[in-house]
């Protein structure tokens, strides 16, 4: 059985460690796969050490792209999920 996946995204790791650490810990301890879509920076490392997986991304901080209406953002998140699933499947084989 596959674990459910929770995705957290931010333009830098600090945004996740400063406000989402407890929520991420909850998902991990509840058996979820947690994927971080963020910069590959020092701040995200503590979350990865807890068991979260990184899908590195560089965000343009100059704009706002709500994923509900922005097709490129939807594509980006789908690519992150697919990339993570492919990694998991390759580890099973």
Helices (H), the chain: 13-19, 21-29, 42-50, 71-92
Per-residue pLDDT of 20-67, as tens digits, reads 999 999 999 999 999 998 888 888 899 999 999 998 887 666 655 554
* CB contact at 8 A, 39 and 56: yes
Architecture field, domain 5-92: 3-Layer(aba) Sandwich (3.40)
Residue 78's pLDDT is: 72
Q: Give the C-alpha separation, 40 to 36, whole Å.
A: 10
The dihedral built from the CA positions of residue 70, 19, 50 and 61, taken in this order, carries a sign that is: positive
Would the pTM of this model clear 0.85, i.e. be above it? no
């Amino acid at each position: 059985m596959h674990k459910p996946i929770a995705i957290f995204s931010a333009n830098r790791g600090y945004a996740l460690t400063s406000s989402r650490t407890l929520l991420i810990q909850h998902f991990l301890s509840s058996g979820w796969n947690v994927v971080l879509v963020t910069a590959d920076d020092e701040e995200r490392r503590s979350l990865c050490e807890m068991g979260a997986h990184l899908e590195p991304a560089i965000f343009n901080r100059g704009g706002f792209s709500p994923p509900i209406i922005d097709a490129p953002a939807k594509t980006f998140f789908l690519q992150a999920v697919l990339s993570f699933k492919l990694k998991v499947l390759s580890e099973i084989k």
